[in-house]
Amino acid sequence: MTESLSPVVAHPGNQRYAIGIEYDGRAFRGWQTQQAGVPSVQETLERAIARVANHPVHVHAAGRTDAGVHGSGMIAHFDSPSPRSERSWLMGVNTALPEGVSLRWIQPVASDFHARFKAVARRYHYVIYNHPRRSSLLAGRATWHYHPLQLAPMQEAAQALVGRHDFSAFRAVACQSNRPVRDVHFLQLDQEGPLFRLDIQADGFLHHMVRNIAGVLMAIGQGRMPVSWAAEVLASRDRTLGGVTAPPDGLYFVDALYPSGFDLPREPLGPLWMAGWPVR
């Protein structure tokens, strides 16, 4: 589903605010507002902000996550003429939000800022718990893969996906984008004990693109497919050759990048429970 290309500039009298959002995707059917009765992060956030603003608001996000996908560094914006301090916005909105969603920061920005259209890159982490037995504490927060994985072949295979390519083989069948070409800036994998982390940044992503990449790399790490398979799938441009789509549990939207003039706050990347891991 595509967002209408409404003017970027805020209406006169409004102040535009950029916000950093953290959310647990398990309670929602994705970011985007859907039909009545279907919980979404966007609708939940808009309702909480409206209580503090005393008027309806519309929140525009840097990206849209699917059901079960988390956000540790989602960036969005909204407009309001209501005079509130940053502390009042933060405390008021967080009080009105359920425990699965929180504002990390809020900052007034210029009227030409737009969380979606001004973003020059997006970044995701995909976290895998690789152990013979499932973890109750990581359930829903990391993808459980019980077959042993080898990091080195996954790292080698990932490099074939870096750069500007047609990612048709890694997009969902229902993907509505009319442009399958994306520029992957980097794709790195690292390991800390039983936890594997895939760290990927690109100018944009297709529907299920990261989860399909994770599925291919896990098959290679398990030894079911050779290292060359990632490049072969990419070259085929055929989704049916790309294997299983990995679960949403381990996927986190961790950052969106903007031109330096907007000077947005920077926080540690990734879920806070992984704080301390080295990040490029």
Tally of CB atoms within 10 A around 277: 16
Whether 66 is a known active-site residue: answer: yes
DSSP letter string, 97-157: S-TTEEEEEEEEE-TT--TTTT--EEEEEEEEEE-SS--TTTTTTSEEE-S---HHHHHHH
Q: Which long-range contacts (CB under 8 A, 24 or more apart) does 140-146 make?
A: 140/24, 140/26, 140/68, 140/249, 141/24, 141/70, 141/249, 141/250, 141/271, 141/273, 142/195, 142/249, 142/250, 143/214, 143/246, 143/247, 143/249, 143/250, 144/249, 145/218, 145/222
Asked if residue 143 lies in contact with residue 247, where contact means CB atoms within 8 angstroms, the answer is yes
Residue whose C-alpha is closest to residue 200's, from 126, 278, 111: 126
Q: What residues are paired with 9 via a beta bridge?
A: none
What is the distance between the alpha carbons of residues 213 and 207, in angstroms, rounded to a whole number?
Answer: 11
- The residue from 24, 66, 199, 263 that is catalytic is 66
Burial grade of 37 (CB within 10 A; 0-12, 13-18, 19 or more): exposed
In angstroms, the Cα distances linking 23 to 62, 68, 98, 272 are: 14, 10, 10, 11
Structure tokens at 159: 């490099």
In degrees rounded to 5, what are phi and psi of residue 235? -65, -30
Active site residues: 66
